[in-house]
Each structure stands twice: as C-alpha cells, then as structure tokens.
Structure 1
Amino acid sequence: MTTHFITAEIDLEETPAELLKAIETELNKQGEPLRWAITSVDVDEQKATVEAVVTKSAEC
C-alpha cells in the first residue's frame, strides 16, 4: 500500500452536502482518502481546489 498527495478541482455545488459528495466521489477515483482539505475557492470559475492524501493498494 502506498500513499499519494493529490490535488483536485471540484465544481462548487448548490449545498454543502452535494459538495461533500462530489469531493468524496472524486477522491475515491484516486484511492482511499486519509485526509483532505479545501485549500482555495475560485468564485468566478465556481471551482474549489482540494488537496488530499490517499492510499492505493500495490496492485493499482
């Protein structure tokens, strides 16, 4: 199992619950999230930047 630092851009959603689901869905594509944080928000582009640490199995 290895850990990786990733950055993802997520479209802002209408509600916090929808934003959380969008973040979790995107991070799960990269591995199993250990921790993550929204590090910036671009209001004009309606994007949030998320930085995360994820684990991946050796087979990936």
Structure 2
Amino acid sequence: MTTHFISAEIDIQDSPQKLQHEIEAELQKRGEPLRWAITNVDEKQQKVHVEAVVIGEEKS
C-alpha cells in the first residue's frame, strides 16, 4: 500500500452534509482517505477544491 496526495474539484452542494458526502465519495474512488481539506471555494464556478491524502494499492 502507498499514500498519494490528490486534488479534486467538487460541485458546491445545497448543504454541508451533502458536500461532505460528495467529497468522501469522490475520494473513495481513488483510495482510502486518511485526511482531506477544502483549500479553496470558487463561488463564481460553484466549485470547491479539495486536497487529500489517500492510501491506495501499489500499482505495478
């Protein structure tokens, strides 16, 4: 297993709970999230930028 630093862009949701669910669902596609943070909010494009550290399978 290896750790990876990733960035993602997620659409702003109606509620904080929906946003958290969307972020976690997107990160699960890339591995098991260890930690994540919203690093920027683009109100004009209605996007949040997320940076995360995930654990994933080592690719050979």
TM-score, structure 1 length as denominator? Answer: 0.95
Provide Cα deviations, 1:19-57, integer angstroms capped at 9, x if missing partner.
000000000000000000000000000000000000012
1:22 aligns with 2:31: no
- In structure 1, stretches of 5+ residues that fail to align are none
- In structure 2, stretches of 5+ residues that fail to align are none
Size of the aligned set, in residue pairs, is: 60
- Deviation, 1:58, is 2.8
The CA RMSD measured in Å over matched residues stands at 1.3
**What is the match of residue 35 of structure 1?**
35
Percent identity reads 58
TM-score, structure 2 length as denominator? Answer: 0.95
In 1, the alpha carbon distance for the partners of 2:59 and 2:5 equals 18
